Amino acid sequence: MLANSWNLLVVLGGVMALGISFGILSPFLVLQRRALIGDVVAHAALPGTVLGFLGAAAAGFDPRSSWWLWGGAIGTGALAIAALGGLERHGRLRRDAAMAAVLATGFGLGTALLSLVQQVALPGRAGLGGLLLGQAASMQAVDLLAAWAVMAAVLVVVVLLWKELLTVTFDPLFAKVAGLGGGRLEMILMALLLVAIATAMRSVGLVLLVALLVLPGVTARLLTDRMTRLVPLSAFMGALAALGGTLASTRFADLPTGAATVLAAATLFAMALAVRHGWLDRATSLPVRQLP
């Protein structure tokens, strides 16, 4: 699928950086028991991406410009997080209903707008088709830079706010009492998530990036109980899945990188599950013959 080695390097570097960013964020979301928030944000980022495309075209810029698409995605993604908070605070709807409602509403608007784009002749509209399943091969140098910038931001924030993040994750009540700024910390975490999702939309696709937000964290959680090991291990799992998925998609024609990456991450998860429960030992050890 990937023609030459420069392309391959760009894609590999970009997808692996995204895998690491998601891998670092994943344990916090999983441990806070809201692994699917990324699903909601990613679906709700679709209308923003299309609006960004239309906005760029209307303002006379190149509608394929990544900046406009990212800006739009972050905009409606943030709206979705706000709407989610509003629905939950109202009190009568539970979180699952609020999440499903926001997800479907945002995505519905996105598909309605996409159908509009398909009826007008604008250059580059074909590029929007890959938002669902992702087109890693279309990654450009700017996407690579963005992925690395996001990774750096995630790393810096998590290292600097390590203690606070741990407190909020494991003891939100204490964090509140101690005045650790749960609200602000929450906003920082969501902002990181938003930016990471916006930059990953076109390469991994909005359905499949959810897997990279859940699988590495759970996989690492099966293998260790210590947070100082869990987060690096999760980042490593994300990078490994991205490497495996990208390389697999170069071997087989038409194999989408995003889907291959998810299957690689799922394989790692299954292996961790097997290790945790000792299935491998049992399968490889010889059966003990029972005496009559």
Binding site for other proteins (CB under 8 A): 30, 33-36, 38-39, 43, 83, 86-87, 90-94, 96-116, 119-120, 129, 132-133, 207-208, 210-211, 213-215, 217-218, 221-222, 252, 254-256, 258-260, 262-263, 266, 269, 276
Q: In terms of CB distance, is 83 or 168 closer to other proteins?
A: 83
Helix (H, G, I), strand (E, B) or coil at 90: helix
How many residues are there in the chain?
Answer: 292
CB of 226 to other proteins, least distance (A): 14
Nearest to 216 by CA among 24, 9, 10, 14: 24
Q: Output the smallest distance, CB 113 to other proteins, in A.
A: 8
The CB-of-46 to other proteins minimum distance in angstroms stands at 10
Radius of gyration, CA atoms only, the chain: 20
Closer by beta carbon to other proteins, 108 or else 124: 108
Shortest distance, CB of residue 289 to other proteins, whole angstroms?
32
Least distance from C-beta 129 to other proteins, angstroms? Answer: 7
For residue 261, give both structure tokens.
């990456």
Give the CA dihedral 49, 63, 127, 257, nearest 10 degrees: -60
Question: Rounded to the nearest whole angstrom, what is the least distance from the CB of residue 80 to other proteins in the complex?
Answer: 10
For other proteins, the closer of residues 144 and 256 by Cβ is 256
Q: Which residue, 254 or 285, has its beta carbon nearer to other proteins?
A: 254
Report the greatest alpha carbon distance in the chain.
85
C-alpha–C-alpha distance, residues 138 and 146, integer Å: 14
User: Residue for token digits 């910390």?
Assistant: 185
- Alpha helices of the chain — where are they, by DSSP H? 5-31, 37-58, 66-90, 95-117, 141-160, 162-170, 172-177, 182-204, 209-223, 227-251, 257-277, 279-284
CB 216 within 8 A of CB 267: no
Of 100 and 188, which CB lies nearer to other proteins in the complex structure? Answer: 100
| Closer residue to other proteins, CB minimum distance, 146 or 206 | 206
**Residue 38 or 144 with smaller CB distance to other proteins:** 38
Q: Which residues contact 230 (CB under 8 A, 6 or more apart)?
A: 27, 217, 220, 221, 224
Q: How far is CA 248 from CA 40, 236, 237, 240, 251, in A?
A: 28, 18, 16, 12, 5
In the complex, the smallest distance separating the C-beta of residue 97 from other proteins, rounded to whole angstroms, is 4
Residue 62 in tokens: 């190149």
Q: Which is nearer to other proteins, 252 or 291 (CB)?
A: 252
Give the nearest distance from C-beta 160 to other proteins in angstroms.
26
